Structure 1
Amino acid sequence: MKINLKVRFKNPYFYVALILAIVAPIGVYFGVNAEDLTTWSMVGSLAKEAILNPYVVVTVIVSVATFLIDPTTPGIGDSKRALGYDKPKDDKL
């Protein structure tokens, strides 16, 4: 399985999706909404609880792994063409 991470890191949407892939399972498991996190100590406490819970850790790992899979290719890696990119492909005509 090869993934062209150097190109993905150049796309700002990669970071948004990665953060959601990590935060969403934690929020769902603990039943937390964004408006519930009003202090940094609450965020830290939630992060600590998540890290100490093996089920949540595995759920986050699965979520991130699923996020990294390119559904347009067979298997779980990037296509040979995508592996050759140096920057995200621009499909604008």
Structure 2
Amino acid sequence: MNLKVRFKNPIFITQLILSIILPMLAYAGIAAEELTTWGKLINLLWDSISNPYVVAMVILSVWNALNDPTTKGLSDSLQAKTYTKPK
């Protein structure tokens, strides 16, 4: 995977962050605007990490963010591997 190029793309970074945060919020049944203090955020993260179901959902969500469905397996195409910046 050409992660160096992917991390230069703000859309990818946003997608990756959301793929981690949204399953946690959904399982807890809260909206993002309810996280008004650092304590609430830390509690949400701790509760999520200690729950195997939420961890599995986060892993699956990150997999979906990383995977390129136009190629076989979990790698980028040969052409995409030659990129030095997002095309």
Structure 2 length as normaliser, TM-score?
Answer: 0.92
Q: Over aligned residue pairs, what C-alpha RMSD do you find? A: 1.0
Divergent runs of 4+, >3 A: none
Amino acid in the other structure paired with 1:38: T
Q: Once the two structures are aligned, what percentage of the paired residues are identical?
A: 54
Structure 1 length as normaliser, TM-score?
Answer: 0.87
| Corresponding residue number in structure 2 for 1:78 | 76
| Larger Rg computed on CA atoms | 1
Consecutive unaligned residues in structure 1, runs of 5 or more: none
Question: CA separation in 2, counterparts of 1:43 and 1:14?
Answer: 23
**Do structure 1's residue 47 and structure 2's residue 40 form an aligned pair?**
no
**Number of matched pairs:** 87
Question: CA separation in 1, counterparts of 2:33 and 2:74?
Answer: 35
Question: CA separation in 1, counterparts of 2:17 and 2:49?
Answer: 15
